[in-house]
Copies of this chain bind each other. A is one copy, B any other.
Amino acid sequence: MSNALDTLKERLGEVSDINSAVSLLHWDQEVYMPPKAASGRGQQLATLSGLAHRMFTDAAIGDLLRKLQESDGLSPDDAKLVSEATHDYDQATKVPESFVQEFAIAQSKAYEAWVEARESSAFKTFQPHLETMLGLLRQKADLLGYEGSPYNALLGEYERGMTAEQLKTIFGELAPKQGALVDRIVNASDQPDLAWLDQEWNPDTQWNISLEVLREMGYDFDAGRQDKSIHPFTINFDTKDVRVTTRIHEKELFSGLTGSIHEGGHALYEQGFLDSDRRSVLGQAISLGIHESQSRMWENVIGRSQPFWNRYAPRLQAAYPGQLDGRTPEDFYRAINHVTPSLIRVEADECTYNLHVIIRFEIELALVEGDLAVADVPEAWNTKMKEYLGLDVPDDTNGCLQDIHWSHGSMGYFPTYALGNLYAAQLFETIEEALPDLWTQVEAGDFAPLLGWLRKNVHEVGRRNTAVELIENVTGKEPSADAFMRYLEGKYLPLYGLRD
């Protein structure tokens, strides 16, 4: 049996190595690749991705997995490895290669149409392609199988164990509460002063500050690096090579830094997998929601807190001589937590962000379940934007065409952004109990206790738990919006001089 296990581990390790090369090809494409290399790179990515898929779905791996499932001499970790690999194998083999190819072709056409539609703000251009993608997504759901809503099959690719039914309950509770809070904030008389931010901020200084903060957070620069890209991202080739990117705008003091902190949170998660899980499915993220909980916790709960700015406000003042005179840490804290409903999700603040996600979830669910026609997406979008955020959508570019996801055939992905916020708040209530001196430590730049807690309770778990199991194990409660709403109200009511 140990022979079969070793063979399995070696074969999965090889697939992992190829996937690492695929990731490096992607990383390079985003940060350093010269423009004319694009078509060659596309070819290389197609070849290697296809190869990794073929190697992983090889019948010999299925045989090994079946053999090992029947064995009862495996250690708990090895048994988990076999069951997780079996899950991935089943998912991968349920979808025939002909379907994967058809999907990829439709994807690429839909992406092109989306780019064009977005430029001319013409949903009609995108509509037939979204119809095709939706048809394929429904087929995919059938191929993968599901209980309850077909949406569950799609959601399960990103957030295994979570269901549309659960999301409806959680989001159904969250949306009105969050909407009411935003309403109060928007109407509060005590709005933050933002005029002092309207300056130019030296990009090199911004870059150096972002490196300093990453270092203090505990990001290991001997096992990673930061580069610049158009869209910030985190990518890993190995637990010992987890890289982040950021983008710097001269007119914006905070966006590069918060981008770095956000990606740093993702990266600390991936640098925190166990050494013994290298090249194994156990040394992988549980779900996108858990991944996002790590980035959001560092970015928002820590990086937009008053103690954090008690530490970093003076540093920024020293780094930009003459530009920040007379500003208090509270000025920074209030400015970086400025709440304002806006049309664009990726620019949304903590208080409004989930509302953007919920709009997308409701539309996706209705599409997949057949309750909404693709042609009616713009109207549904605009109605919901008015209802949840009080905004009129001027055109589809600033409305239902703003995100790339649907053109890629990603449905079930958006909810994981909101789940990340909820998980982060829920985990953080437990952390505050476990680490009573946490905020003093943050103010002193001592992030080691927090990181140590996350390592032990989240990172090192790898894929040994599902997201729901992890949240329940660690917090003693099932995932809900309660902690998040307590967090939001506890932070934003005083921040805007509002009574509870």
Contacts and interface: CB of A to CB of B under 8 A. Distances in A.
A21 B28 CA distance: 11
Contact of A240 (B39, B47, B225): B39
B241 A48 contact: no
Interface in A12-28: 13-14, 17-18, 20-22, 24-25, 28
A35 B222 contact: yes
A47 B33 contact: no
A41 B225 contact: no
A440 interface: no
Given A25-B24, A279-B43, A241 B36 contact: yes
B241 A40 contact: yes
A34 B279 contact: no
Given A21-B48, A28-B24, A44-B20, A241 B278 contact: no
A32 interface: yes
A194 interface: no
Interface in A385-419: none
Given A32-B225, A34-B224, A34-B225, A40 B24 contact: no
Contacts of A35: 222
A33 to B, nearest CB: 7
Contacts of A269: none
A451 B252 CA distance: 45
Contacts of A239: 40
A31 to B, nearest CB: 9
Given A13-B43, A41-B238, A223 B36 contact: yes
A36 B237 contact: no
B34 A240 contact: yes
A18 B48 contact: yes
A220 interface: yes
Contacts of A48: 17-18, 21
Interface of chain A, main secondary structure: helix
Nearest to A20: B44
Given A24-B25, A32-B225, A43-B279, A237 B37 contact: yes
A375 interface: no
Given A20-B44, A40-B238, A40-B241, A221 B25 contact: no
Interface residues of A, number: 38
A222 B35 CA distance: 6
A59 interface: no
A14 to B, nearest CB: 5
A188 interface: no
B279 A17 contact: no
Interface in A220-258: 220-225, 227, 237-241
A20 B40 contact: yes
A43 B15 CA distance: 12
A344 interface: no
Nearest to A14: B47
Question: Which of A17, A33, A279 counts the most chain B CB atoms within 10 A?
Answer: A17
Contact of A40 (B33, B43, B278): B278
Given A28-B28, A34-B225, 15 more contacts: A18-B51, A20-B44, A21-B21, A24-B25, A32-B225, A32-B227, A34-B223, A36-B223, A37-B240, A37-B241, A39-B240, A40-B237, A40-B238, A40-B239, A44-B238
10 contacts: A13-B47, A17-B43, A18-B51, A21-B24, A33-B241, A34-B225, A36-B222, A37-B237, A41-B237, A44-B238
Interface of A: 13-14, 17-18, 20-22, 24-25, 28, 32-37, 39-41, 43-44, 47-48, 51, 220-225, 227, 237-241, 278-279
Q: What 6 A-B pairs are tightest by C-beta distance, nearest first? A: A40-B238, A37-B241, A17-B47, A36-B240, A36-B223, A21-B21
